[in-house]
Amino acid sequence: MQPQYKRILLKLSGESLTGPDGFGISLDKANQIAQEIKEIHALGVQIAIVIGGGNLFRGGSQQGIDRATADYMGMLATIMNALALQESFEKLGLFTRVLSAIEMHQLVEPYIRRRAHRHLEKGRIVIFAAGTGNPFFTTDTAAALRAMEMHADIILKATKVDGVYDKDPLKNPNAKKFHELTFLDVLNKGLKVMDSTSISLCMDHKLPIIVFNLFGEGNMKKVVLGEKIGTKVTG
Half-sphere exposure of 184 (CA within 13 A, CB side): 1
Domains (range + CATH), the chain: 7-234 (3.40.1160.10)
- Residue 207 DSSP one-character state: -
> For 29-33, 56-60, 156-160, which range has the lowest pLDDT when averaged over its residues?
56-60
pLDDT band at 61 (very low <50, low <70, confident <90, very high): low
Please determine, for residue 215, whether its predicted confidence score (pLDDT) is greater than 90.
no
Per-residue confidence (pLDDT) for residue 74, from 0 to 100: 95
Average pLDDT of the segment spanning 131-136: 96
Q: What is the mean pLDDT of the chain?
A: 94
Assess whether pLDDT exceeds 90 at residue 89: yes
Taken in order 212, 232, 195, 125, the sign of the CA dihedral is positive
Residue 129: closest CA among 202, 66, 21, 56: 56
Q: Note if the pTM is more than 0.85.
A: yes
Percent of the chain exceeding pLDDT 70 equals 99
Residue 58: pLDDT above 90? no
- What pLDDT was estimated at residue 168? 83
